[in-house]
Amino acid sequence: MTKRTTGVCYYPEHWPETQWPEDAARMVNAGLSWVRIGEFAWSRIEPREGQFDFGWLDRALDVLGAAGLRVILGTPTATPPLWVVQKHPDMLAVDATGQPRKFGSRRHYCFSHQGYRDECYRIVTLLAERYGVHPHIHAWQIDNEYGCHDTTLSYSSAARDGFRDWCAQRYQSVDALNRAWGNVFWSMEYDSIDDIDLPNLTVTEPNPAHVMAFRRFSSDQVVGFNKLQADVLRRHTSAPLIHNYMGRILDFDHFDVGADLDIASWDSYPIGFLSDRLEASNDHKSRFLRQGDPDMQAFHHDLYRAVGKGRWWVMEQQPGPVNWAPYNPAPLPGMARLWAHEAFAHGAETVCYFRWRQAPFAQEQQHAGLLRPDSADAPALGEAAQVAQELAAFPDAGTATADVALLFDYPSAWAWEAQPQGADFDYFRLTFATYKALRRAGLSVDIINANSDITAYKLILAPGIATLPDTLLNQLPNFQGTALIGPRTNSKTPELSIPVPLPPNLPGLNASVALVESLPPGTVVPLANGGAFAHWFEHLETDCASELTSDGKPAIASRSKLHYLAGWPDDTAFDRLITGACAAEAIKTLFLPDGLRLRDTATHRFWFNYGPDPIMFQGITHPAAGVTWQAR
């Protein structure tokens, strides 16, 4: 059984050494067992090229370890110091307007720059040689938040050269590339792969196939950059390797990065995300202002459980107001506890809070920690200590395979960004709307890679997957459960063209999409049985049994338990469809009140009330901003 633990992110280089022992003792007092350090400390480890100071880091490890803490050591490659940039001025990533990004914050590097990769190889090798078998280091974090601050794509000359090599590998010849992209259109044909540029600064939109290839390449560059470090570390340590991913960042394929790591982790800032990156009504945003969206954290927990092949953590948990969202309210009392327990209920091994003490200087001085800048307890410290005590008293609840799986596919996000066809068509938005509908129905959900084995599930949903992998298409004829597929699923080839026979081309389902429409806000296509399609509607030709729109067009084509949705259901339609699909599979649904959510583990049912008031449901009162659990 995995022991569930908590931890904290700490920056010894920010504080006098005399402070460290007391900090470590207070961490242990709060029940924390892990401390993450080092991920931004390059300028203190190697202040000038070849001039090293490992002394402070050795002493920090001694102090933290002596207190009984387990250390996660970060590789410092997200923050190359100024001398590295001066040595490799062209290592800076270049934005889509052709401007290099500057030194003075973080993540100022291009994944494709060989000189920078060599510097990373060098510093990570030194750290791995020195600390690979260190008794207090029990895990490594590679880099920090790939893709953060819009850093996956770079239009640098290093990226351009790398892209040409990548195209030569993928297409083998320029003729094959021209054919794959359809470059005969607008006389875009190339004579040589070495003439191909990156798809920015074109007069009007570049060829979407060109953009899609660049997106695949850019994702592969992140994978390669991460693997370089993972390979070095593996030679010197047997401790698990981790990366800390983010919320709603889909610019690289996390499943591909995760294949080279042992544990997936993510950085959870529920209140920041509500304000910063969610489409929701003002009413919703004000109701959950100090709690965060009730499904956003759970969605990412379920996603990263899949990315981590079952092993995942929260590496950074919001403790109080952050500094970076448009508005930064404080969490309601109880939320820091609720968020942590929710992560554990979804299978997290460890939850670390970000950060130990609020820094009174630099960019994040307005970002709360577990301690205030004057070292007094901040409100979340007590909640963190409570969580640790509750975990100690609580047996491991385990994880159970859910009845329902939602298929997820990163390249689909790139496809619909390359060719949205409607301003509101966003892959995350569609997938998240589907997930929310499942959670409203009281379901526990597994999110799985679109090429996974689906045999264990009773119900699968596959919205917006641009190209269904053969592994999935081959499973569909024998799948015993219900499949809800669409909209827009299987509507593109891997090169972002329309396939013929026309989509969705699902085995055994005689239906094809003859035309698609995107719909502006406020316009819908009502459905005869209730609810409507919004944002997106496809005109289907089919002789299958179909649910109809209110004006008699096919809306959902079905053959036995395989259903193709020709539009983006609104909440009412989603609720009806999910209830129907669950009834067909004898899966029990509940209609949960707004803000109340549940998660089933192997042994327990956990309830989370994200609402600002107590909620009475099925005879039980769920406290505001509270979590309760009961044996199943």
Please, which residue, 320 or 486, has the CB nearer to ligand GAL?
Answer: 320
Q: Of residues 267, 302, 409, 446, which one binds ligand GAL by CB under 6 A? A: 267
90: buried, middle or exposed (CB in 10 Å: 19+, 13-18, 0-12)?
A: middle
Nearest CB to ligand GAL, comparing residues 144 and 154: 144
**Please, what is the minimum distance in Å from the beta carbon of residue 225 to ligand GAL?**
17
Reference 331, options 390, 272, 282; nearest CA is 272
Nearer to ligand GAL, 355 or 597 (CB): 355
Could you give the CA distance from residue 599 to residue 62 in angstroms, rounded to a whole number? 40
Smallest distance from the beta carbon of 384 to ligand GAL, in angstroms?
Answer: 16
Distance CA 174, CA 159 (A): 19
Shortest distance in whole angstroms from residue 240 CB to ligand GAL: 19
Quick check: 426 binds ligand GAL (CB under 6 A)?
no
The overall longest dimension of the chain from CA atoms, in Å, is: 77
- Is residue 145 part of the annotated active site? The answer reads yes
> By CB under 6 A, is residue 110 in contact with ligand GAL?
no
C-alpha to C-alpha distance for 529 and 546, rounded to whole angstroms:
11
State in angstroms the smallest separation of the CB of 37 from ligand GAL.
12
Q: Which of 39, 495 has the CB closer to ligand GAL?
A: 39
CA-CA distance, 372 to 197, in Å (whole number)? 50
User: Binding marks (x or -) toward ligand GAL, 126..155, rule CB under 6 A?
Assistant: ------------------xx--x-------
In whole angstroms, how large is the CA radius of gyration of the chain?
25
Q: Which is nearer to ligand GAL, 106 or 605 (CB)?
A: 106
**364/571 with CB nearer ligand GAL:** 364
| Cα–Cα dist 107/147, whole Å | 9
599: Cβ contacts below 8 Å, ≥ 6 apart: 298, 342, 345, 346, 444, 605, 606, 608
Helix (H) or strand (E) holding 449: strand 445-449
Nearer to ligand GAL, 56 or 324 (CB): 324
Collapsing DSSP to helix, strand or coil, 487 comes out as coil
Report which of 484, 425, 448, 498 is spatially closest to residue 279, judged by C-alpha positions. 425
269 binds ligand GAL (CB under 6 A): yes
367 binds ligand GAL (CB under 6 A): yes
Among the options 316, 349, 383, 547, which is catalytic?
Answer: 316
Q: In degrees to the nearest 10, what's the CA dihedral of 542, 547, 552, 555?
A: -70
Active site residue 316: yes
SS (H, E, C) 532-567: EEEEEEEEEEECCEEEEECCCCEEEEEECCEEEECE
Q: How far is the CB of 275 from ligand GAL (least distance, A)?
A: 13
Residue among 7 and 208 whose Cβ is closer to ligand GAL: 7
Give yes or no for residue 322 binding ligand GAL (CB under 6 A): yes
Interacting positions 277-316 with ligand GAL (CB under 6 A): 316
Contact 250, 427 (CB under 8 A): yes
Q: Which of 417, 446, 476, 402 lies closest to 307 in space, CA to CA? A: 446
Of the candidates 145, 342, 383, 538, the residue annotated as catalytic is 145
CB of 292 closer than 8 Å to CB of 268? no
By CB under 6 A, tell whether 490 contacts ligand GAL: no
In the complex with ligand GAL, the residue whose CB is nearer, 15 or 324, is 324
d(CA 89, CA 364): 27
Number of residues in contact with ligand GAL, rule: CB under 6 A? 11
- Rounded least distance, CB 369 to ligand GAL, Å: 10
281 to 229, 277, 288, 289, 305: CA distances (angstroms)? 43, 13, 11, 12, 29
Smallest gap from Cβ 374 to ligand GAL, in A, equals 20
> Helix 174-181 and helix 157-171: axis angle, to 10°?
90
Residue 192 CB, nearest approach to ligand GAL (Å): 41
Element (H, E) at 620: strand 620-622
Minimum CB distance to ligand GAL, residue 252 (Å): 16
- Interface ranges with ligand GAL (CB under 6 A): 144-145, 148, 267, 269, 316, 322, 324, 354, 364, 367
Residues belonging to the active site: 145, 316
